[in-house]
Amino acid sequence: MTLTTVSFAFLIVATLLVRLLLTSKERWTALAVINLLMLMVVAGRLAPLAIALILVAWLLMRQGGAKMQRWRLVAVIVLGLIFLIGPKLNPHLESERQFPMLIGASYLAFCLIGLAVDRTRGHVTKVGFVDFWNWISFFPSFTAGPIRRYMPFVEQLSTSTRLQDIWWGATRLLIGIFKRLVLVSMLTPTANFLNETGASTWQCWLGMYAYTLKIYLDFSAYTDIALGAAGMLGLKIEENFNWPYLATNISTFWKRWHMSLTGWLRDYLFIPLGGSRAGWPRTALNTVVIMVVIGLWHGLAWHYLAWGLYHAAGLLIYRAYTDLFRGGDRGIRPGLWRRLGAGLFTFHFVAFGWLLFACDVQQAWRVVVTMFTGG
């Protein structure tokens, strides 16, 4: 967790009291203050920069009538891309030229760009400051997502908190903390075998399986904590994972993995580029673009690019297979044994892909060679 356990717990208790004791208008003003305090704790000396970014984005999006002008959309996109891409360039820049490392900048950028597109399309016509501030700076999901849509969030601000929401949220939050502090910690030493030059065959295999579980538990733990904290306040935010390792094909895996990111890219990039309805060459190009963006979103490094291209190839091969043998019908449900076989194959395709995520390209290749030849 980015925040310490004590400070996060304090924020949850304080916000829960605000939610339960104050009237609707008062509690969202109080929540705005709590979100501001959280941002100041997390961003530290960069808090004024983060606040300035949010205020500029709001000023751009609050104007423009029912549909925001396109120049405002371009301005928000440029602003978001600076904070999205800039810090990822730091490993390649001299120290005095590096961009400020604002925690949560990538999620912040995606949220702002998504809202700007919705304003331009006319899907959102009014952006009040308090609603906007609570949406963009909502402390349970500010640092590690999920990526949130504006309207589904603000439409809940007038709802009340029920006892069952508090219990559900507390349970989900504790599950996330258990994953992060216990299960991830247990798997980390074994997963680290992947980056040891002298790892044996069995250590490489164990390392791959451990890393595969670790990365899911680590990512999903943050989502559990965010959803749990939001649930305790009577709010629902986007899910990020839906048992992705039980998918029986790579397309279904990506519908279940990091769903707020893949859903955002589908709605704001893949479909505007033409989606899958403009013929095979265009579909292939769009698929590669999306997967490259997902890969480089994690960092501007060759192994992230290779990981994105690896999954793009998997998606295109699966699409070609279904077009050739199923007439393009990807909704056919195979029998039990075929589902088991397809599930195992998909799981291992994803697991081998994680080698490119965990290691640089050369080390990933050494691990694969060791796994199958003994080194």
pLDDT at site 268: 92
Angstrom distance (rounded) from CA 346 to CA 340:
10
Angstrom distance (rounded) from CA 255 to CA 248:
11
Instruction: Using pLDDT thresholds of 50, 70 and 90, give the confidence band for residue 330.
Output: low
Domains of the chain, residue spans:
5-154, 163-232, 244-373
Instruction: Using pLDDT thresholds of 50, 70 and 90, give the confidence band for residue 211.
Output: very high
Beta strands in 232-327 (DSSP E): none
Mean pLDDT, residues 78-85 taken together: 84
Least confident of 44-53, 142-151, 301-310, 326-335: 326-335
Give yes or no for a contact between 269 and 291, defined as CB atoms under 8 angstroms apart: no
pLDDT at site 23: 64
Active site residue 123: no
Is pLDDT above 80 for 12? Answer: no
CA-CA-CA-CA torsion sign (94, 97, 103, 104):
negative
Is pLDDT above 50 for 34? Answer: yes
The answer for residues whose C-beta is within 8 angstroms of residue 340's C-beta and 6 or more apart is none
Is pLDDT above 50 for 1? Answer: no
pLDDT at site 285: 93
Percent helix, strand, coil in the chain (nearest 5)?
75, 0, 25
92, 298, 311, 348: the catalytic one is 298
User: Residue with structure tokens 């013929």?
Assistant: 279
The Cα diameter of the chain in Å comes to 67
Least confident of 10-14, 92-96, 197-201: 92-96
User: pLDDT over 90 for what percent of the chain?
Assistant: 45
